[in-house]
């Protein structure tokens, strides 16, 4: 039986997240599609873990990391966050993103009960992510040729 669990990200997850980030499909779908060098990643990652305005969670399947979700605070009153999500290349298309998105938001809400809005920016060509955000109640704010922006009012 598959058991999924969400926990706070740690330094131990850094290299795996870097590998997922540099996966060709991930790079194609990220807003910043450039390859990231490990030294740059580890410096960013350490700073991100120490930043009290960023909440990063890992989803594990049978104690093995398979995805990451990050919420970056964008308002002074800690009521709005931008979201980033990435699933291990081997686990994409299996519904893990939906589990991670729903439960990641619940975990954020348990830590920041004044969270009101979550925003997502998704490339138009990223059909799976666009379907994911719509299926989880995000509504479209703006759309251009390249980007769709969503918002979720958190209850």
Q: Is the pLDDT of residue 90 over 90?
A: yes
Mean pLDDT calculated for residue range 76-81:
88
Q: How confident is the model at residue 78 (pLDDT cuts 50, 70, 90)?
A: confident
Task: Kindly report the average pLDDT of the chain as a whole number.
Answer: 93
Q: Quick one: average pLDDT of 71-90? A: 92
Is the confidence at residue 1, as pLDDT, over 70?
no
CA atoms of 77 and 32, how far apart (whole Å): 27
pTM (predicted TM-score): 0.93
Q: What is the mean pLDDT of residues 66-78?
A: 91
Per-residue confidence at 34, pLDDT binned at 50, 70, 90?
Answer: confident
Rounded to the nearest 10 degrees, what angle do helices 96-111 and 127-135 cross at?
50
pLDDT(10) > 90: yes
CA distance 43 to 46: 5
CATH no. of 4-153? 3.40.630.30
Cα 154 to chain centroid, rounded: 16
The residue-averaged pLDDT of 27-52 equals: 90
**From its phi and psi, is residue 16 left (phi > 0), alpha (psi between -120 and 50) or beta?**
alpha
More confident residue, 43 or 95: 43
Q: Any idea where the domains of the chain sit in the sequence? A: 4-153
pLDDT in tens, 92-124: 988 899 999 999 999 999 999 899 999 999 999
Residue 26: closest CA among 145, 128, 136:
128
Cα-Cα-Cα-Cα torsion 3, 9, 14, 18, nearest 10 degrees, comes to 70
């Amino acid at each position: 039986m598959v058991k999924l669990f969400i926990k706070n990200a740690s330094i131990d997850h850094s290299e795996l997240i870097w590998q997922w980030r540099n996966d060709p499909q991930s790079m194609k779908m990220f807003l910043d599609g450039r390859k990231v060098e490990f030294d740059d990643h580890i410096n960013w990652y350490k700073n991100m873990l120490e930043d009290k305005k960023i909440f990063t969670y890992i989803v594990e399947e049978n104690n093995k990391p398979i995805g990451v979700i990050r919420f970056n605070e964008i308002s002074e009153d800690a009521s709005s966050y931008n979201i980033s999500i990435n699933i291990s290349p081997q686990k994409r298309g299996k519904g893990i993103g939906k589990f991670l998105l729903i439960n990641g938001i619940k975990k954020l809400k348990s830590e920041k009960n004044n969270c009101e809005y979550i925003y997502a920016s998704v490339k138009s060509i990223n059909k799976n992510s666009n379907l994911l955000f719509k299926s989880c109640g995000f509504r479209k704010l703006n759309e251009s040729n390249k980007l769709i922006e969503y918002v979720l009012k958190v209850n």
